[in-house]
Amino acid sequence: MERVSLVRKINPALANGLVEMWLKEVEGAMLDSVLNQLKKAWEDYYQGDRVGWVTSWPGQVVQGISCMAWTYEVEEAIEKKSLPAYVVKSTAQIGDLVRLVRLDLKSGLRITVEALIVLDVHARDVVKAISDLNVLSIHEFDWISQLRYYWHENEKKEEYVCVSMVVTDVKYGLEYLGNLPRLVVTPLTDRCYRTLMGALKLCLGGAPEGPAGTGKTETCKDLAKAVAKKCVVFNCSDGLDYKALGKFFKGLAQSGAWACFDEFNRIELEVLSVVAQQILTIQRAIGRKVVKFFFEDTMLRLDPTCSIFITMNPG
């Protein structure tokens, strides 16, 4: 369990008894609070010992800022041609965390450290790989094909975190997901990430396919964790009709959440044709950058960061 303070107080009485009004206020305060924590943790990162820093911030913030620090440090190492030295530093950082995780820690902190070790091991492997490939520029594909985190500014001079991979830039969702473990990244996971991020760039969804238990759903869920988005996993059955799925899509389009429809091929063919049209309507609305759109005779306010993934188990 961990506590994250809200940046401002919320008074439900001001919503005149409308639950959705004050919950909208809570959501806004949550997004601002996570961004505030990210900014403070980034300022604090180079102030002292990394192990001490890990133990003093929420798990999600630790994961995000560690990935961001790694991005900037690797780019600096590429420009200074000092990647082999950075491999040594990365290994030393993992050693520090391994020593920490062997101590008697509280369960929440243990989850944070374990998740960070998983991310750090992958990060070290990436640095070793690009060092062996003799990457000399931060614009080479071997580097830009990795998941990278940056601070950016928009037109209003507001700072935000951007998650980049190849040509795709996804704004960090700032959804507070809690203190969660992370997926071990294999070369196949990396390829899935590249494909899914490429799909997001084109305002499309992704459809990982393969035998049961190979991590299709977990990969979608972990990418959602990486960009701080709520991912709702929904197990499809042959009893589903287009009306039930239509209600689901209405919620997704308005909330900006991600959804992963598991075993999508179980849905009846007659229903699938209607569902394909429903998904196409949402994807077209995102592509046109509209604020509101018609969906099944209802005018909906669109959150363009929503996304729909399906997984299929052939045979």
Express each pLDDT in 196-254 by its tens digit.
Answer: 999 999 999 999 999 988 999 999 999 999 999 999 999 998 888 899 999 999 999 99
Instruction: Write the CB contacts of 282 (distance below 8 Å, at least 6 apart in sequence).
Output: 249, 252, 253, 293, 295, 302, 306, 308
**CA triplet 65, 71, 72: central angle to 5 degrees?**
95
| Selected residue with higher pLDDT from 98 and 157 | 98
Segment 154-175 shows an average pLDDT of 93
Q: In the prediction, which pLDDT does 155 show?
A: 84
Q: How far apart are CA 85 and CA 87, in angstroms?
A: 5
- Per-residue pLDDT for 266 more than 80? yes
Residue 86, judged by CB atoms within 10 A of its CB (0-12, 13-18, 19+), counts as buried
Q: In the prediction, which pLDDT does 15 show?
A: 81
Q: How far apart are CA 226 and CA 221, in angstroms?
A: 9
- Per-residue pLDDT for 193 more than 80? yes
- Per-residue pLDDT for 17 more than 90? no
Segment 106-131 shows an average pLDDT of 96
Percent of the chain with pLDDT over 90: 88
- Per-residue pLDDT for 12 more than 90? no
All domains of the chain in start order, with CATH: 12-149 (1.20.58.1120), 183-310 (3.40.50.300)
Q: In the prediction, which pLDDT does 25 show?
A: 92
Q: In the prediction, which pLDDT does 14 show?
A: 82
